[in-house]
C-alpha cells in the first residue's frame, strides 16, 4: 500500500531544469510553454525557468523558494502563485510588467516597504498576502493600517486578499451587508431579540398587477407572464394560509391546559 502511495506522489525536486520543464509541459521548445504548475515539489532553485520567455501563468505554491531572480525575464507573465514559500524580497518581479494576479500569501514579507517595488506593475488587479482559507499570511498583514496602505499604493487593484475592493461586485457586497445589518438591527431592541407576532402579507395586493400595452407581441408576452403571476398569487395565498394555520396551532399549544373540577 505504501509503495502505491509513493508512486502516486510527484517526486520532489530541488531545482527546475530544462528536462523538468519539458516533461511537465510536453513542449520541446521552452519558449512555447505558456502554463506551468509546480505545486508542492520542495523546489529551492528556480533554475532555468526564466528561459520560458512566453510563460503566462505560473503556479509555484507550496515550495521552499527564496530567490525570485529567474522570474525577472518573464515579461508576459499574467498570473503568478507564490503562496506558501519563504519569500521576502520581491524586487525581481519589478519587470513582470504584465502581471494582473499575484498570490504571495504564506511567505515572510515583513514590511510595506517590500511592496514598493511592485508599484510599477500598472496592470496588477489582484494581490493576495493573506488567505484565511489555508491560514496563510505574512508578517506585514499584522500592521493595523495594512489594508488601507496597500489600496493606496496600488490604485489599479480590484481584489485584495480575495475580497473585491472596486467594481460592481464590491458594491453589491456592501449593499447586501448593509441590508443584513439593517435587518439584524430591526430584530433586536436594547440587546434583546424582538418577537414579531403579526403575520403580514409578503407583498402588497397591487404587486401582482402589470401595465397593459397595445403592441400585439408585447401583449402576448404580458398574457403569458400574467399566467405565471397568477400561479404565483395562488402559491402566495396558500403560503399565507399555511403560515396562519401554523401560528394558530402553535398559539393553542401555548395556552395552559384547563381541567374540569
Encode pLDDT of 80-124 as tens digits. Answer: 999 999 999 999 999 999 999 999 999 999 999 999 999 999 999
Mean pLDDT, residues 42-68 taken together? 96
Please answer whether residues 95 and 75 qualify as being in contact, where contact means their C-beta atoms are separated by less than 8 angstroms: yes
Domain locations along the chain:
2-167, 192-254
Mean pLDDT, residues 32-36 taken together? 94
pTM of the entire predicted model: 0.62
Share of residues in the chain with pLDDT > 90 (%): 52
Residue 193: which H helix or E strand, with range? strand 192-193
Mean pLDDT, residues 5-29 taken together? 78
**Band of the pLDDT at 216, cuts 50, 70, 90?**
low
CATH class, range 2-167: alpha beta
| Rounded CA separation 242/65 (Å) | 63
Q: What is the 3-state secondary structure (H, E, C) of the chain?
A: CHHHHHHHCCCCCCECCHHHHHHHHCCCCHHHCCEEECCCCCCCECCCHHHCCCCCEEECCCCCCCCCHHHHHCCCCCEEECCCCCCCCCHHHHHCCCCCEEECCCCCCCCHHHHHHHCCCCCCCEEECCECCCCECCHHHHCCCHHHHHHHHCCCCCEECCEECCCHHHHHHHHHHHHHHHHHHHHEECCEECCCCCCCCCCCHHHHCCCCCCCHHHHHHHHHHHHHHHHHHHHHHHHHHHHHHHHHHHHHHHCCCCCCC
Encode pLDDT of 95-106 as tens digits. Answer: 999 999 999 999
Report pLDDT for 131. Answer: 93
First to last CA, the chain: 77
Give the CA distances from residue 209 to residues 180, 200, 218, in Å, rounded to whole numbers and listed in that order. Answer: 29, 19, 16
Amino acid at each position: 500500500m505504501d509503495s502505491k502511495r509513493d508512486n502516486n506522489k510527484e517526486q520532489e525536486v530541488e531545482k527546475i531544469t530544462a528536462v523538468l520543464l519539458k516533461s511537465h509541459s510536453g513542449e520541446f521548445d521552452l519558449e512555447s510553454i505558456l502554463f506551468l504548475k509546480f505545486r508542492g515539489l520542495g523546489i529551492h532553485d528556480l533554475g532555468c525557468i526564466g528561459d520560458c520567455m512566453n510563460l503566462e501563468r505560473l503556479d509555484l505554491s507550496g515550495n521552499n523558494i527564496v530567490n525570485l531572480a529567474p522570474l525577472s525575464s518573464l515579461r508576459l507573465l499574467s498570473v503568478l502563485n507564490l503562496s506558501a514559500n519563504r519569500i521576502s524580497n520581491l524586487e525581481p518581479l519589478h519587470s513582470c510588467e504584465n502581471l494582473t494576479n499575484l498570490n504571495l500569501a504564506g511567505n515572510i514579507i515583513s514590511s510595506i516597504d517590500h511592496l514598493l517595488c511592485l508599484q510599477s506593475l500598472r496592470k496588477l488587479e489582484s494581490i493576495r498576502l493573506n488567505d484565511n482559507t489555508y491560514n496563510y499570511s505574512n508578517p506585514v498583514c499584522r500592521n493595523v493600517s495594512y489594508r488601507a496602505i496597500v489600496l493606496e499604493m496600488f490604485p489599479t487593484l480590484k481584489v485584495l486578499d480575495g475580497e473585491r475592493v472596486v467594481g460592481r461586485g464590491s458594491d453589491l457586497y456592501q449593499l447586501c451587508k448593509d441590508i443584513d445589518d439593517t435587518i439584524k438591527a430591526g430584530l433586536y431592541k436594547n440587546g434583546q431579540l424582538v418577537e414579531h407576532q403579526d403575520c403580514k402579507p409578503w407583498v402588497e395586493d397591487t404587486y401582482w398587477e402589470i401595465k397593459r400595452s397595445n403592441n400585439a407581441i408585447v401583449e402576448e408576452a404580458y398574457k403569458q407572464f400574467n399566467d405565471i403571476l397568477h400561479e404565483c398569487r395562488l402559491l402566495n395565498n396558500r403560503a399565507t394560509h399555511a403560515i396562519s394555520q401554523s401560528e394558530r396551532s402553535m398559539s393553542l399549544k401555548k395556552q395552559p391546559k384547563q381541567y374540569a373540577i
